[in-house]
Amino acid sequence: MRTDTPQTIHRKDYAAPNYLVDTVEMGFDLEPAATRVATRIAMYRNPAAAGRDIVLFGEELELVALRLNGKTLAKGDYRLAGHVLTIPAAPAKAVLEIETVTHPDRNTSLMGLYVSNGNFFTQCEAEGFRKITFFPDRPDVMAKYTVMLRADKKKYPVLLSNGNLVEQGNLPDGRHYAKWEDPFKKPSYLFALVAGDLVCQEEKYKLKSGREVLLQVWVEEGNLDKTQHAMDSLKNSIAWDVDRFGLELDLDRFMIVAVGDFNMGAMENKGLNIFNTKYVLANPRIATDVDFANIEAVVGHEYFHNWTGNRVTCRDWFQLSLKEGLTVFRDQEFSADMIGTDSGRAVKRIDDVRVLRQAQFPEDAGPMAHPVRPDSYVEINNFYTVTIYEKGAEVVRMYQTLLGRKGFRKGMDLYFKRHDGQAVTCDDFRAAMADANKRDLTQFERWYSQSGTPQVDASARYDAKGKILELTLEQTCPATPGQKKKQPFHIPVAVGLLDAKGRDMPLKLEGESGADATGTRVLELTKARQTFRFTGVNEAPVPSILRGFSAPVVLKVDYSDAELAFLMAHDSDPFNRWEAGQRLAMRRLLNLTVAVQAARQSGHVVAVDTVLNNIEHDGALADALRATLNDASLDPAFRELALTLPSETMIAEQMEVIDPHAIHIARQFLRRSLARALRDDLLAAYRANRVPGAYSPDAASAGRRALKNVALSYLAELDDAEALSLAQCQDEEANNMTDRLAALAALLNSTASGKSEALQGFYDEFESEALVIDKWFTLQATARDADVNTVRSLAGHPAFTLKNPNRARSLIFSFCNGNPSAFHALDGNGYSFWAEQVIALNGSNPQVAARLARSLDRWRKYTPALQEKMRLALQQVASSPNLSRDVSEVVTKALA
């Protein structure tokens, strides 16, 4: 805990390290209360740096001994100020020997070396290694590691670290040891060890090159019936990276270890990936279709880091998106390829864009907005954001859109050829893409340096005489913290033109010769305003713009309702087909929200429903949705997405002033009236999409379940006997967690009796499955009739603890972020609850506390009454004692 003012770190202040490291040898005597760590670091002066001081970082360490080239350093030979240990004027070659003691069982931050359920784990990204030993803990210092682990053999039969196991044996007093050697140079943030009572599923796997490798998935005893999917995902990832990028596994052994206490999703430590159990453990009984898909994606993500992140790493943490954006892009492509079909790819794309809009667009418009390559930070842990990850992935995707798949591959090949074994920058990546394709990507750099979501305004003008379609694109970008004025971005805009029958028309720009391309073409918008003239356009077309969501922008186009319904029915681009429906629905939702507000203002609170019924006269949206719902040529997964209305958060982002209650009433109203209009079709879809036989998480079956369950959730809005009996039967007959949860959610949001019995039954059945109990908490925190009192009483449940991040997220985060109308209760009680929880978490786990602190990011956008209450809650947190750097940065920026 700090008492001084946190310092801001600036990208422009980057300086190469004075000393580089050749080798690191570490010895661990593992004891929960006090673990002794002996480290031997062979260092040499960096010819590229001017300084002669050795600079090491260390946090929460007891320094027992410090030797330089064999000589013990006395107090006057070094300086220890805060977290920095400096050895002035050191020799050109220095062997440092350091002995430290840490206290893993008291480590609740889950950074560095900690204990979870009796076993040892480490988490070193971004700056956790300095909680294990003093070290030049920065990613541009890469070294080879040898690690000796010693521990009680009974309690900790399994001892793992990075690389290869080179030796193991017994020691006196019931102890044993294992020695690990990592043949590859790596930054300290990729160091890992695991020691404990674990079991594994393992398999020998033959790489394409013929080399055999050992794959292992380590879990606690009793969980071996939940590892197959992770193992399959790992094998698929290995094969995919060779196929798509020619990148092979470079180690003889690759391990995944599951841990129940983990701050994030998973960690790509070299050869020893450590995973949140949520992204490893699955079988039909405990995991949903979404869980299965997430596991595949995260296993892929961490595996792909082996090249994009580990073999080539980041020079400094400002370059975080170099590895994260690129690796998210890779895992997105992997998941899409695993589905295999074009429509499956489109569904995956829509899913990814939904995440971007729901979470990243608000971030980019709020007080924590930052460029994909930030210029400054206070606490790096706060910069593992949707901007770095998801917008970063969009930026990488744009290279592929501009250069084509082949061109992108050429760029990747050159990137590895130039930088294997190095710590590099986002500029290096861009240069590889540009040079490999002989393209000028200078302007593209603005995607890295400018924050905020650009807006593109599109307008079309058809000249029937000249058969010319003029498409004018104009781009702007709103001001963001520290960035008032923006320069134009280099934006790939994929467009198509639809004729009256809905078919794609030939696309030829004025002045072009050669054959016309029919379908989609990518326009490059580089100026503030540009007009593109298509020639030979024989009839007035409906333009389909930003196909496949070719750039992370907000697209404004003036479509009529009829044009949107037309695109929804015909666009050959599935993304824009879905998008048209969303635009139509959003229009309706915003109108209804305004109507709710107006009715409320005129004092007609009770008459809201009547008012809404009166304006809900045209059935255009219902008709369009019905057509989509009943179109058997469309993937069920796509139809499910089309039927899902924009979330309350998405609607909120469209409003000048956010009124969460009006939004909630409006959206519920629309759901109910759609359920009424589509009742028979929904029932038919429900029946037609039951998946018979044994459960399989494949995309086709999952898509059918998703459509069936969205139908069920609409039908449940009617709260009639038939809908409830469907839900009840499904709850009883389901052979998988997806259907169980969907049924339970439908029941919970109805007026059915026996809700608490159903919840209790579910709890009793799954009491020993922590991941399912998380779902049980989430279900109740996001239930429609939940309020802060529901959540307070759940927080008092014996199974609840703030100390476990998954559990904290399942209840507290789910309520604050996933139940907006209850969280934003007019009395402000949601906010007081939020403040209490942030303050409590701040004491044990600052990283998780800071995540929760961000729930109030958008406070300035709310109605004045709510704004004021939010500001008070933020101030309460800001002025609480012992505030961590993590939380302090978030609330300070929010209040600024």
CA–CA separation, 734 and 683 (whole Å): 18
Helices H / strands E in the chain, number of each? 30, 33
Which residues in 266-295 contact ligand PHE (CB under 6 A)?
A: 266-268
Q: Of ligand PHE, Zn ion, none, which one does residue 673 interact with (CB within 5 to 8 Å by kind)?
A: none
Q: Judged by CB, which is closer to Zn ion: 275, or 532?
A: 275
**Total residue count of the chain as it appears in this document:** 896
Does 301 participate in binding ligand PHE (rule CB under 6 A)?
A: yes
Question: Cβ of residue 763: shortest distance to Zn ion, in angstroms?
Answer: 34
Task: Quote the least distance from Cβ 256 to Zn ion, whole Å.
Answer: 14
Closer residue to ligand PHE (CB): 324 or 653:
324
CB nearer to ligand PHE: give 490 or 851: 851
User: DSSP assignment of 645-713, as one string?
Assistant: PPPHHHHHHT-SSB-HHHHHHHHHHHHHHHHHHTHHHHHHHHHHT---SS----HHHHHHHHHHHHHHH
By C-alpha distance, which of 773, 814, 809 is closest to 790? 814
Nearest-angstrom CA–CA distance, 764 and 737: 15
The C-alpha atoms of residue 218 and residue 159 are separated, in whole angstroms, by 11
Among 59, 125, 363, 739, the residue binding ligand PHE under the rule CB under 6 A is 125
Round to the nearest angstrom and report the end-to-end CA distance of the chain: 22
Q: Which is nearer to ligand PHE, 310 or 821 (CB)?
A: 310
Q: Which residues contact 30 (CB under 8 A, 6 or more apart)?
A: 104, 120, 149, 150, 151, 156, 195
Considering the complex, what minimum distance in angstroms separates the CB of residue 585 from ligand PHE? 33
Choose from ligand PHE, Zn ion, none: what does 264 bind? Cβ within 5-8 Å by kind. Answer: ligand PHE
Nearer to Zn ion, 37 or 388 (CB): 388
From the list 232-240, 264-272, 459-467, 810-818, the region that binds ligand PHE by CB under 6 A is: 264-272
Cβ-based nearer residue to Zn ion, 389 or 448: 389
Q: Decide if 94 contacts 70 (C-beta within 8 A).
A: no
Give yes or no for residue 731 binding ligand PHE (CB under 6 A): no
Stretch that binds ligand PHE, among 261-269, 547-555, 644-652, 728-736 (CB under 6 A): 261-269
The least CB distance from residue 133 to Zn ion, in Å, is 24
Given a contact cutoff of 8 angstroms between Cβ atoms, the answer to whether 602 and 610 are in contact is no
Part in contact with ligand PHE (CB under 6 A); list of ranges 259-267, 354-362, 684-692, 865-873: 259-267
Q: In this structure, which amino acid lies at residue 655?
A: M
Q: Which of 207, 257, 272, 209 is nearest to 235 (CA)?
A: 207
221 belongs to the catalytic site = no
Site string for ligand PHE, 331-370 (x = CB under 6 A): ----------------------------------------
Binding to Zn ion (CB under 5 A): which residues in 624-683? none
Q: Indicate the burial class of 16 (C-beta count within 10 angstroms; 0-12, 13-18, 19 or more).
A: middle
| DSSP three-state, residue 268 | coil
Asked if residue 620 lies in contact with residue 565, where contact means CB atoms within 8 angstroms, the answer is yes
Residue 241 near which of ligand PHE, Zn ion, none (CB within 5-8 Å, type-dependent): none
Which of 302, 324, 640, 717 is an active site residue?
Answer: 302
CB closer to Zn ion out of 161 and 327: 327
> Which residue, 389 or 534, has its beta carbon nearer to ligand PHE?
389
**Candidate ranges 260-268, 421-429, 461-469, 773-781; the one touching ligand PHE (CB under 6 A):** 260-268
Minimum gap (Å) between residue 389 Cβ and ligand PHE = 7
d(CA 608, CA 605): 6
Asked if 258 interacts with ligand PHE (CB under 6 A), we say: no
Closest distance to ligand PHE from the beta carbon of 589 (Å) = 34
* The one among 116, 123, 814, 845 contacting ligand PHE by CB under 6 A: 123
Element (H, E) at 491: strand 491-498
The Cα-based distances of 845 to 838, 852, 853 in angstroms read 10, 11, 12
Residue 662: which of Zn ion, ligand PHE, none does it interact with, CB under 5 to 8 A by kind?
Answer: none
Rounded CA separation 176/156 (Å): 9
Q: Looking only at residues 317 through 336 of this chain, which bind Zn ion when binding is defined by CB under 5 A?
A: 324, 327
Please, are residues 813 and 851 in contact by the beta-carbon 8 Å criterion? yes
Q: Which of 264, 554, 592, 825 binds ligand PHE (CB under 6 A)?
A: 264
Minimum distance, C-beta of residue 126 to Zn ion, in the bound complex (Å): 12
Considering the complex, state which of residue 305 and residue 664 has its C-beta at the smaller distance from Zn ion. Answer: 305
Cα–Cα distance, 791 to 773 (Å, whole number): 15
What CA–CA distances, in Å, run from 281 to 233, 587, 632, 705, 741?
Answer: 12, 41, 34, 21, 17
Query: Backbone phi, then psi, for 267, in 5-degree steps?
Result: -140, 135
* Residue 402 sits in the site that holds ligand PHE (CB under 6 A): no
For residues 584 and 580, give the distance between their C-alpha atoms in angstroms, rounded to a whole number: 6
The interface partner of residue 762, options being Zn ion, ligand PHE, none and the CB cut-off 5 to 8 Å by kind, is none
Using CA atoms, how far residue 154 sits from 43, 180, 223, 226, 727, in Å, is 37, 20, 20, 25, 49
799: amino acid identity, one letter: A
Cβ at position 263, least distance to ligand PHE in Å: 6
For residue 266, the partner it binds in Zn ion, ligand PHE, none, with Cβ less than 5 to 8 A by kind, is ligand PHE
Task: For residue 237, count other CB atoms closer than 10 A to its CB.
Answer: 24
* Comparison of 327 and 437: residue with beta carbon closer to Zn ion: 327
- Token pair of 532, please? 């593109």
Does 717 bind ligand PHE (CB under 6 A)? Our answer is no
Burial 484-509 (b: 16+ CB within 10 A, else e): eebebbbbbbbbbbbbeeeebbbbbe
Applying the rule CB under 6 A, the residues between 638 and 677 that interact with ligand PHE are none
Residue 394 interacting partner from Zn ion, ligand PHE, none (CB closer than 5 to 8 Å by kind): none
Closest approach of Cβ 765 to ligand PHE, in Å? Answer: 32
- AA letter at 17: P
**Hunting for tokens 């304006």 — which residue is that?**
615
Number of residues interacting with Zn ion: please give it, by CB under 5 A: 2
Regarding 302 and contact with ligand PHE (CB under 6 A), the answer is yes
Please select the residue that binds ligand PHE; options are 140, 289, 324, 769, rule is CB under 6 A.
324
Could you say which of Zn ion, ligand PHE, none residue 125 binds, taking C-beta under 5 to 8 angstroms by partner kind?
ligand PHE
User: Which positions from 846 through 885 interact with ligand PHE, judged by CB under 6 A?
Assistant: none
- Torsion angle of alpha carbons 618, 624, 630, 635, nearest 10°? -150
Point out the residue whose Cβ comes nearest to ligand PHE: 264
Q: What is the 3-state secondary structure (H, E, C) of 65-90?
A: EEEECCEECCHHHCEEECCEEEECCC
CB of 310 to Zn ion, least distance (A): 11
For ligand PHE, the closer of residues 324 and 390 by Cβ is 324
If one asks whether residue 384 binds ligand PHE (CB under 6 A), the answer comes out as: yes
Q: For the CB of residue 537, give the shortest distance to Zn ion in the complex, in Å.
A: 45
Torsional sign, CA 246, 247, 248, 254 = negative
C-beta of 179 vs 807, nearer to ligand PHE:
807
Give DSSP secondary structure letters for 845-883. Answer: -HHHHHHHHGGGTTGGGB-HHHHHHHHHHHHHHHTSTT-
CB 160, min distance to ligand PHE, A: 17
Size of site (CB under 6 A) for ligand PHE: 11
Q: Which is closer to Zn ion, CB of 111 or CB of 200?
A: 111
Residue 298's alpha-carbon distances to 267, 332, 706, in angstroms, are 9, 10, 21
Find the shortest distance in angstroms from Cβ 240 to ligand PHE. 17
List residues binding ligand PHE (CB under 6 A): 123, 125, 263-264, 266-268, 301-302, 324, 384
Residues that bind Zn ion (CB under 5 A): 324, 327
Name the residues annotated as catalytic: 302
